[in-house]
């Protein structure tokens, strides 16, 4: 596996090397250009001045042999005159067709100039070129037409070796190389320091995480990070611990509750069996005892079924298979099935459907949700009451409302009604046979469908449980297999 620290170091080093290379290249190129420009402009100045002299006094070429001595420069300083005289040692004067007609004392004859250069100068242009003699420093040369116009009389060439420029550039390159090497070493050491510092917070985090061996997860990460980027990580880590602790406590309560709920029917079962076994019984007595036991077993089966359903939903939303679903036939079937049960209790059960679009749903789970709501509605409505199931649009959602004219629920119970194992006092007193898991299952199923379930109730008048489901096209894409 790659090391993050190594990655930081390599990236930092690569960046520094790239920057240094660019910097070195730029400095070298700029310096070389400046030097060349200086040399070229100096050569042109000299060439132009000497060219002007020759143009003014062409006989200088005949009277001077290796040095132009007798030129007339009254307004020129002594220093300048000396420079010009010395420069004249290095000049070559060519005829307009490129033949050598005069050469300074120190000037070296060069191979004949190329046709391209000749034609350019003949056009009146000043031409710069670099001559590369064998085993010697390159020479910078300027060729100037005299006079400075088309079809000149002479071509004057002044040259200078590029030794100084080359030495200067070599020194500069050395300096840059030393600077780059030192900077690279510092960057390598510095990047290690930066990587260590950056990762120190992560180290604290992982040490804390390692030290959290199990519940309770109350250890909070007290990172005082110098970098604000780590604050969200610390926050997220602590929030995660809090969530785990909450989940853990929730699970513990749930298990406590479940065990407690199982204990009652199991105790009744045990008591019944013990009492029955104390003496010989008639067949009728055994039958009665078995019927009582069967009731408790049914309660246990209902409880374990509800627990299984909840376990399937906890943390796993794939407990539903969502497909485009038409709700009206599902409701109609269900109402038809439960009508017999309602009639037994002398309750009228009716469906009032309005046309609604498709929803994305799992018909079995929606049925289970509605059975729980209808079962409660029938159970908590006295004989002669009514239960109405409505199917209609509410803004952008499809709504299924289960309305009953039953006892209603006191407002203090409403906020906790969907909590696991929560039952109102009246249902406990009456021992309605419920497990307190029906509405939590309703809530889980609703949420798995990206829907919500709410309750409105008035004591003595009845309750309305409303399920809102998004219409098919409004369901989030990630959970919509049909899109």
Bridge partners (DSSP) of residue 324 are: 360
Q: Which is nearer to ligand ADP, 223 or 369 (CB)?
A: 369
Minimum separation from the CB atom of position 444 to ligand ADP (A): 12
Bridge partners (DSSP) of residue 57 are: none
Q: Tell how far CA 9 is from the center of its chain.
A: 22
Q: What are the φ/ψ torsions at residue 435 (nearest 5 degrees)?
A: -105, -15
Which residues within the stretch 364-393 sit at the binding site for ligand ADP (CB under 6 A)?
Answer: 372, 376-377, 380
> What 8-state DSSP symbol labels residue 114?
P
Q: Which is nearer to ligand ADP, 68 or 374 (CB)?
A: 374
Q: Is 427 in the site for ligand ADP (CB under 6 A)?
A: yes
Minimum separation from the CB atom of position 195 to ligand ADP (A): 56
Which of the stretches 8-16, 77-85, 115-123, 419-427 binds ligand ADP when contact is defined by CB under 6 A?
A: 419-427
One-character DSSP codes across 21-66: HHHHHHHHHHHHHHHHHHHHHHHHHHHHHHHHHHHH-TTHHHH-SS
Among positions 93, 327, 342, 409, the unique one binding ligand ADP when judged by CB under 6 A? 409
User: CA triplet 381, 385, 388: central angle to 5 degrees?
Assistant: 90
Which residues within the stretch 199-258 sit at the binding site for ligand ADP (CB under 6 A)?
Answer: none
Among positions 201, 296, 463, 466, the unique one binding ligand ADP when judged by CB under 6 A? 463
Which of the stretches 108-116, 147-155, 190-198, 418-426 binds ligand ADP when contact is defined by CB under 6 A?
A: 418-426
Minimum separation from the CB atom of position 282 to ligand ADP (A): 36
Whole-number Å distance between alpha carbons of 121 and 141: 13
Q: Tell how far CA 93 is from the center of its chain.
A: 72
Q: Which is nearer to ligand ADP, 160 or 372 (CB)?
A: 372
- Give the 3-state secondary structure of residue 1: coil
Q: Which is nearer to ligand ADP, 157 or 381 (CB)?
A: 381
Q: Which is nearer to ligand ADP, 152 or 438 (CB)?
A: 438
Among positions 160, 180, 407, 466, the unique one binding ligand ADP when judged by CB under 6 A? 407
Minimum separation from the CB atom of position 429 to ligand ADP (A): 10
Minimum separation from the CB atom of position 387 to ligand ADP (A): 9
Whole-number Å distance between alpha carbons of 175 and 24: 10
Q: Is 438 in the site for ligand ADP (CB under 6 A)?
A: yes
User: What sign has the CA pseudo-torsion 301, 303, 307, 309?
Assistant: positive
Q: Is 93 in the site for ligand ADP (CB under 6 A)?
A: no
**How many residues sit in the footprint of ligand ADP (CB under 6 A)?**
21
Q: Which is nearer to ligand ADP, 237 or 422 (CB)?
A: 422
Among positions 152, 385, 434, 470, the unique one binding ligand ADP when judged by CB under 6 A? 434
Which of the stretches 20-28, 47-55, 170-178, 429-437 binds ligand ADP when contact is defined by CB under 6 A?
A: 429-437
Q: Is 436 in the site for ligand ADP (CB under 6 A)?
A: yes
Minimum separation from the CB atom of position 362 to ligand ADP (A): 20
The position carrying tokens 């071509």 is: 155
Q: Using omega within 30 degrees of 0 as the cis cutoff, is the peptide bond preceding 394 cis?
A: no
As a whole number of Å, the CA-based R_g of the chain is 50
Q: Which is nearer to ligand ADP, 166 or 257 (CB)?
A: 257
Q: Which is nearer to ligand ADP, 141 or 379 (CB)?
A: 379
Q: Is 403 in the site for ligand ADP (CB under 6 A)?
A: no
Nearest residue to ligand ADP by CB is: 434
Contact at 8 Å (CB) between 158 and 141? Answer: yes
Whole-number Å distance between alpha carbons of 99 and 350: 121
The position carrying tokens 């309602």 is: 342
Whole-number Å distance between alpha carbons of 286 and 449: 48
Q: Is 417 in the site for ligand ADP (CB under 6 A)?
A: yes
Cα separation values, 179 from 172, 176, 275, Å: 10, 5, 99
Any long-range contacts for 432-437 (C-beta under 8 Å, 24+ apart)? 432/379, 432/380, 433/299, 434/376, 434/379, 435/261, 435/299, 435/302, 435/303, 435/306, 436/261, 437/303, 437/306, 437/307, 437/310
Work out whether strand 386-394 and strand 348-353 pair parallel, antiparallel, or are unpaired: parallel
String marking each residue 327-366 x if it binds ligand ADP according to CB under 6 A: ----------------------------------------
Whole-number Å distance between alpha carbons of 465 and 483: 31
Minimum separation from the CB atom of position 231 to ligand ADP (A): 42
Cα separation values, 321 from 146, 307, 365, Å: 96, 20, 9
Residues that bind ligand ADP (CB under 6 A): 372, 376-377, 380, 404, 406-407, 409, 417, 422-424, 427, 432, 434-439, 463
């Amino acid at each position: 596996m790659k090391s993050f620290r190594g990655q930081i170091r390599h990236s930092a080093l690569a960046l520094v090397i790239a920057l240094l290379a660019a910097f070195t290249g730029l400095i070298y190129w700029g310096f070389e250009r400046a030097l060349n420009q200086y040399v070229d402009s100096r050569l042109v100045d000299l060439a132009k001045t000497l060219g002007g002299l020759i143009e003014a006094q062409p006989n200088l070429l005949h009277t001077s042999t290796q040095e132009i001595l007798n030129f007339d420069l009254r307004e020129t300083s002594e220093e300048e005159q000396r420079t010009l005289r010395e420069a004249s040692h290095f000049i070559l004067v060519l005829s307009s067709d490129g033949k050598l007609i005069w050469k300074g004392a120190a000037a070296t004859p060069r191979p004949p100039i190329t046709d391209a250069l000749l034609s350019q100068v003949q056009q009146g242009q000043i031409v710069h070129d670099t001559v590369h003699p064998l085993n010697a420093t390159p020479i910078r040369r300027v060729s100037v037409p005299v006079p400075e116009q088309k079809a000149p009389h002479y071509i004057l060439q002044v040259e200078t070796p590029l030794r100084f420029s080359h030495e200067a550039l070599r020194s500069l390159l050395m300096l840059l190389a030393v600077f780059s090497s030192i900077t690279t070493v510092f960057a390598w050491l510095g990047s290690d320091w930066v990587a260590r510092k950056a990762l120190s917070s992560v180290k604290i985090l992982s040490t804390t995480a390692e030290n959290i061996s199990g519940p309770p997860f109350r250890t909070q990460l007290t990172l005082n990070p110098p970098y604000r980027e780590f604050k969200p990580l610390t926050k997220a880590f602590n929030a995660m611990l809090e969530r785990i602790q909450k989940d853990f406590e929730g699970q513990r309560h749930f298990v406590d509750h479940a065990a407690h709920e199982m204990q009652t029917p199991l105790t009744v079962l045990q008591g019944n069996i013990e009492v029955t076994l104390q003496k010989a019984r008639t067949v009728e007595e055994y039958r009665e005892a078995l019927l009582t036991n069967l009731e408790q077993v049914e309660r246990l089966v209902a409880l374990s079924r509800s627990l299984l359903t909840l376990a399937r939903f906890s943390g796993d939303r794939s407990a539903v298979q969502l497909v485009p679903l038409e709700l009206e036939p599902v409701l109609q079937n269900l109402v038809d099935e439960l009508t017999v049960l309602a009639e037994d209790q002398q309750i009228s059960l009716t469906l009032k459907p309005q046309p609604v679009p498709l929803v994305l749903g799992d018909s079995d789970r929606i049925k289970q949700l509605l059975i729980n709501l209808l079962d409660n509605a029938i159970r908590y409505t006295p004989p002669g009451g009514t239960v109405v199931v409505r199917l209609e649009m509410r803004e952008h959602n499809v709504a299924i409302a289960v309305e009953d004219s039953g006892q209603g629920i006191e407002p203090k119970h409403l906020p906790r009604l969907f909590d696991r194992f929560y039952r109102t006092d009246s249902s406990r007193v009456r021992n309605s046979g419920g497990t307190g898991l029906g509405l939590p299952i309703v809530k889980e199923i609703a949420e798995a469908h990206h829907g919500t379930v709410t309750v409105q109730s008035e004591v003595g008048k009845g309750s309305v449980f409303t399920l809102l489901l998004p219409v098919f096209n409004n369901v989030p894409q990630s959970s919509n297999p049909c899109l």
